[in-house]
Every structure is written in C-alpha cells, then in structure tokens.
Amino acid sequence: MEARAAGLPAITLAYERSGAGEPLLLVHGLGLSRRTWDAVVPYLRGRREVIAIDLPGFGLSPDWPAGLKQDLPTTARVLGAAFTALGIERPHVAGHSLGGLVALGLGQAGLARSVTALTPAGFWNEAERRYAFAVLATARRISRTVPDGAAEWLSATAAGHAILAGMLYAHPAECPPGAVTACLCSLRESVGFDATLRAGRTHGLFSGQIPGIPVTIVWGTADRILLPRQAQRATAILPQARLVWLPGCGHVPMNDAPELVANVILQATEPDIADGVTGVEETR
C-alpha cells in the first residue's frame, strides 16, 4: 500500500491483514519484520483484525526516501496515512522494541485507541544505549557473514541456537529453527538498519504523556538487550501505564511465549478478557 501524508512523499509499506474484530496494528523491532509476529498472530486473529506491517527499510518495505527525517513524529504521520489507506481509524497498536516506541508515538499523536509496548526502546541511560546498540550491531554483522546454508544448519542445533539467537531469546533451543533463520535473514536484509540505529542516538526519544487511552508496558524478565530495569523508567514517564512482566522471557518474547504475549495484548486491548495465561502485573 502507499501511505500519503500531507507534505511528505508517498511511502510504500508491506503488510498482512487477517482475522476479524477491532483493528490491531503490530509493529516489529529494529532489524526485524512483520514475520516476528508469526507465532502470535494465530492467537489474536479470532478476536482482532490483525494488521502486521513492515516499517520503511525493513522486511519487504522500501527504505525511507532520501532526505526524509526518520523521527517519531514523521513515523506517526506516515502510519496515520497508512490507516487511511487501509480504511481503519485509531486501531489498537502493539509494538516491540523500536515498534514499542512507535506504538507510544502513535498513542501520543492521538492515532491509537490503546497502546501495548513490549520492551519499548528509548528508556535507557547512555551506557545501556551503547550496550544495546553494540549487541544489535554485532547481531547484524553475524547475519551478514553467516551463509544461508550454514545458518539453517546451525539453527537446527541447540548449540547453533545459542550462538545465533542467545541474546534475542531466553530459550533459544526451544525456538523453531525457521524463526532463527528468518531473524538472521531480516537482520541481513534490513536496508534501514544503519540509519535507524543512528537516529536512535537522539536524546529523549520519548517524553510527555499519552492521555485518554489505556497504555500497557510489557517487559521480559530475562531481556538481555533492553534491560528490565528500564521498565521502571518507562512507567515513571507514563505513570498511568500498567506494567506487565513476562516471566522468563527474553528480548523477543513473541517466540519465547507466543500465547502469553497474545493474551497480554488481548487483555490490554479489552481489559475484561481474563482467560488463558497472563503475565504478572506489577502493583504500583
């Protein structure tokens, strides 16, 4: 589809749409794609119309046009135009890492009816930012040096899982081999990776409030990239937000515990849903 925001060039976005119910937008993290949500979508589409997108420069979406500023307000404008192209208005938004930050920006712009931010980026101190960026840059280098055949062979073994995905998943040996290979492929082919990483060095990526809508911050207790203590900073900035912990989950909980993640999202978008496995909500 083409997103045409006033005053901006047209942006082409790849997406998948399935299910029925209130619209729910899923936004992936840095270096990943809409495929990151594949294990979660089957648990969601019976209750939501699920729209998983590739952000510009990731997955099958072309990169940002040259010279266009890659900041949160611009991204929100582009996605707002995408909602118009899709014929939806103020969807629920769930995002992971970079996508969690984008979800918060959409909520702040008045474009979301609820926000679920899984380990959202931007709530680090400088040392934590440098550490996270070093880990991600290393994962990117590995993805660009491991041949496809070797990646598939390694991902089929427990040792290979630990090498290729130990920082992303809390239980890499239990993650389907195809998911690890797809993750490496996404990292390798993300044409927007480097520019997005540079844009992330900006101080204070998110500030202010999100009035009038439910906001849920979700964090894996075993996240080795965006450390769990950053959750407290997020909820200090957004004191109205619920904080939900995912016990034993790493940075990409959608593969560590897909049903758990789906239930947390469903509860965040419709609070009276209480069936199935739930995360651990912090009482503050």
Residue 194 lies in a domain: no
Residue 228 lies in a domain: yes
Q: Do 44 and 265 touch, CB atoms closer than 8 A?
A: yes
Residue 13 lies in a domain: yes
Arithmetic mean of pLDDT, 96-107? 97
Q: Which domain holds residue 63?
A: 2-125+201-281
Total-model pTM? 0.90
SS3 36: helix
Arithmetic mean of pLDDT, 221-241? 95
- Same structural domain for residues 27 and 101? yes
- Same structural domain for residues 115 and 233? yes
Measured distance CA(256)–CA(249) in Å, rounded: 6
Residue 196 lies in a domain: no
Predicted local confidence at residue 101, as pLDDT = 97
- Same structural domain for residues 227 and 175? no
- Same structural domain for residues 120 and 259? yes
* The one-letter amino acid at 199: A
150 or 52, higher pLDDT: 52
12-22 pLDDT, tens digit per residue, is 999 999 999 99
Whether the pLDDT of residue 151 is over 80: the answer is: no
- Same structural domain for residues 274 and 246? yes
- Torsions phi, psi of 174, nearest 5? -95, -5
- Tell me which of 168, 189, 210 is where a domain ends: 189
Whether the pLDDT of residue 284 is over 50: the answer is: no
The two three-digit tokens of residue 109, written as one number: 């712009």
Matching residue, tokens 């014929």: 87
Lowest mean pLDDT among 104-113, 137-146, 235-244: 137-146
Predicted local confidence at residue 195, as pLDDT = 92
Residue 52 lies in a domain: yes
Matching residue, tokens 């991600």: 136
Geometric angle at alpha carbon 173, from 169 and 176, rounded to 5°: 85
Residue 141 lies in a domain: yes
Burial of 196 from C-beta contacts in 10 A (0-12 / 13-18 / 19+)? buried
CATH code at position 65: 3.40.50.1820
Number of domains making up the chain: 2
- Same structural domain for residues 31 and 112? yes
Whether the pLDDT of residue 157 is over 60: the answer is: no
Residue 195 lies in a domain: no
- Same structural domain for residues 232 and 243? yes
- Same structural domain for residues 222 and 266? yes
- Same structural domain for residues 117 and 32? yes
Whether the pLDDT of residue 178 is over 90: the answer is: no
- Same structural domain for residues 121 and 145? no
Predicted local confidence at residue 162, as pLDDT = 56
- Same structural domain for residues 93 and 52? yes
Residue 177 lies in a domain: yes
241-281 pLDDT, tens digit per residue, is 999 999 999 999 998 899 999 999 999 998 654 333 456 66
- Same structural domain for residues 73 and 168? no
